[in-house]
Amino acid sequence: MPGPTLVFLHALGASGREWRQVVDALPDHDCVALDLPGFGDAADAGHADVETLTDWLADEIRSRDLTACVLVGHSMGGKVVTLVAARAAAGEIGLSGVLGVVLVAASPPAPEPMDEDRRAEMIGWFADGQIAREDAATFVDANTATPLTGSLRDQAINDVLRSSRDAWVGWLERGSREDWSADAGRISIPALILAGAEDGDLGEDAQRRLNLPHYATAVVKTVEGAAHLIPYEQPQRLAALIRGHATAVAHAMLPPAFARLLGSDRVSHRTRGVMLDRMRPPPPRAAIWTDEHSATVASLVAQILPDCGADRDLADRILAGIAEGTGDGWRFAALPRDAEAWERGLATLNAATGGFSTLAPQAQSEWLDRIASGAVGIEEDEAHLSPAQMTLWFEDVRAETVRVWMSLPATMAAIVYDGFAVGGDGRRKQGYARTSAGDREAWQPSAERRS
């Protein structure tokens, strides 16, 4: 499948044109650079408040049928991107394709830090209904580390000049001051958060304090040689960072037909949210697990599910479930509770083999055959499992590994499973109308129609 579509939102006083150099440096990606209502070619739309802008972007994603996309938000656009990402992560219909977020000198969900005298000055520029070119130039020059030159500076100034007064003043007086932190919450969608090295109000410190806490998985990077207008100042560097993040999240892409079904009204918000979380990076490793534990379980995954290989993400997801107690709800009477059984089982496996993950695959397979036959274990030791317990524990390991793997949307898509899509949030649950073998309904993806 092609990579995710990149959706760009611009800063205050700009337009989709600010991304031209960045988009030109991303020829292998489908790119959509939007004009926010009140700016650029959409200036006639006037002021749209934060809630309206969030609805607007969500509707743009749905109307464009974006089954895999990364949202890139600059400054003002970053606040909107974060709020849409929060809705996507929570399972809103039609937003399942939001795989990643890139924030570029982004305004946070909380009130944006800004000197009040400067805010008043910027509002005053539109007192007569239209900003003067001199003031527009002052705004552009104040937001760059080194003044732009030639056509780039003219373009940036002209975008400020064609901004709607209502949209400009509305953002400064209300939108930038609104606190949407509670609505943003903590978002499971992976984010790349970028700050200009010479940005004042929205530099690295502000990004770490105000944007980073809203993302469960995020990296903050500083762009040298830039202040606030990074798309103009460092377009090549910015494009490379965006490309890297888009590549990193592309593993979560689903076949378009499956993604549309997951995002449809046949799936409840709660079910969709749970499934989307399974597409995100696993939670941070619990204190009881070490790198050796993770490597050992990854090696077990490779033996149990050869097509997966030594999948560390799957291994860490399995270990997270064991630590949290969200397993299959039962255990062998001869084994302690799951977390203790796994800790002791892994300790026994590594003690017997001298480090299971370091062995060649064939040697690993032979050791597992011995465990299954009851030939490996340590008797009467509270830190390890006996041979009989090891046999039971390895049976549990196989069951838990397959259970977690089967719960992943990517696995469901691969086997064309659609049992999750039989009841949305309406009073009437759709279910199946036809249940005969091989008699598929029109809404069901099939192996032949997965694209």
pLDDT at 437: 86
CA–CA distances in Å: residue 248 to residues 20, 70, 188:
23, 11, 15
pLDDT for 60 beyond 70: yes
Determine which helix (DSSP H) or strand (DSSP E) holds 122, and give its type and residue range: helix 116-124
User: What digits encode the pLDDT tens for the residues 258-287?
Assistant: 999 999 999 999 999 999 999 998 888 889
**Strand order across the 218-223 sheet:** 31-33, 5-9, 69-74, 98-104, 191-196, 218-223
> Is 275 within 8 Å of 269 (Cβ atoms)?
no
With CA atoms as reference, report the closest residue to 352 among 339, 368, 340.
Answer: 368
User: What is the per-residue pLDDT across 84-142, written as a single tens digit (0 to 9) for each?
Assistant: 999 999 999 999 999 999 999 999 999 999 999 999 999 999 999 999 999 999 999 99
- Output the pLDDT for position 359: 97
| Mean pLDDT score, 71-78 | 98
Q: Write the single-letter amino acid at 449.
A: R
pLDDT at residue 291, as a whole number: 95
Residue 447: per-residue pLDDT = 63
Task: Give a three-class secondary structure readout of 329-358.
Answer: CCCCCCCCCHHHHHHHHHHHHHHHHCCHHH
Strands (E), 235-280: none
Token pair belonging to 229? 């207008």
The DSSP letter of residue 257 is H
Reading phi first (left if > 0) and then psi (alpha if -120 to 50, else beta), residue 133 is in: alpha
Distances in Å between the Cα of 282 and the Cα atoms of 70, 304, 357 are 19, 20, 21
Average pLDDT, the chain: 95
For residue 397, the model assigns a pLDDT of 97
pLDDT of residue 276: 94
Q: Under a CB-based contact definition with an 8 Å cutoff, are residues 90 and 269 in contact?
A: yes
pLDDT digits (tens, 9 = 90+) for 375-387: 999 998 999 999 9
CA–CA dist 278, 298 (Å, integer): 17
The share of the chain scoring above pLDDT 90, in percent, equals 90
Confidence of residue 449 (pLDDT cuts 50, 70, 90): very low
386-420 pLDDT, tens digit per residue, is 999 999 999 999 999 999 999 999 999 999 999 99
Amino acid identity at 147: P
Q: What angle do the packed helices 387-406 and 312-324 form, to 10 degrees?
A: 110
Task: Delineate the domains of the chain, giving CATH numbers in brackets.
Answer: 5-252 (3.40.50.1820), 256-277+410-449 (no CATH), 291-407 (no CATH)
Give the model's pLDDT for residue 451.
41
Angle at 308 between CA 304 and CA 312, to 5 degrees: 95
Between residues 5 and 439, the one the model is more confident about: 5
10 Å Cβ neighbour count for 278? 17
Note the pLDDT tens digit of each residue in 26-46: 999 999 999 999 999 999 998
| The most confident of 127-131, 322-326, 361-365, by mean pLDDT | 361-365
pLDDT band at 1 (very low <50, low <70, confident <90, very high): low
- Does residue 450 surpass a pLDDT of 90? no
Q: How confident is the model at residue 438 (pLDDT cuts 50, 70, 90)?
A: confident
Q: What angle do CA 98, 102, 107 make, to 5 degrees?
A: 110
C-alpha angle 49/180/46, rounded to 5°? 10
Q: Count CB neighbours of 202 within 10 A.
A: 27
Determine the length of the chain: 451
* Cβ neighbour number for residue 95 with a 10 Å cutoff: 23
Sign of CA dihedral 25, 29, 30, 31: negative
DSSP label at residue 215: B
Q: Is pLDDT of 448 > 90?
A: no
For 130-217, where are the E strands, in sequence order? 191-196
CB neighbour class for 408 (10 Å; exposed up to 12, middle 13-18, buried from 19): middle
Please state whether beta strands 69-74 and 5-9 pair in parallel, antiparallel, or not at all (unpaired): parallel
Closest CA to 54 of 26, 78, 72, 70: 78
Whether this prediction's pTM lies above 0.85 is answered by yes
Residues with Cβ within 8 Å of residue 420, at least 6 apart in sequence: 262, 267, 271, 275, 412
Structure confidence by residue, pLDDT tens digits, 168-211: 999 999 999 999 999 999 999 999 999 999 999 999 999 999 99
Q: Which two tokens stand for residue 109?
A: 């969900």
Q: Centre a 10 Å sphere on the Cβ of residue 381 and count the other Cβ atoms it contains.
A: 13
Q: For residue 191, list its beta bridge partners.
A: 101, 218
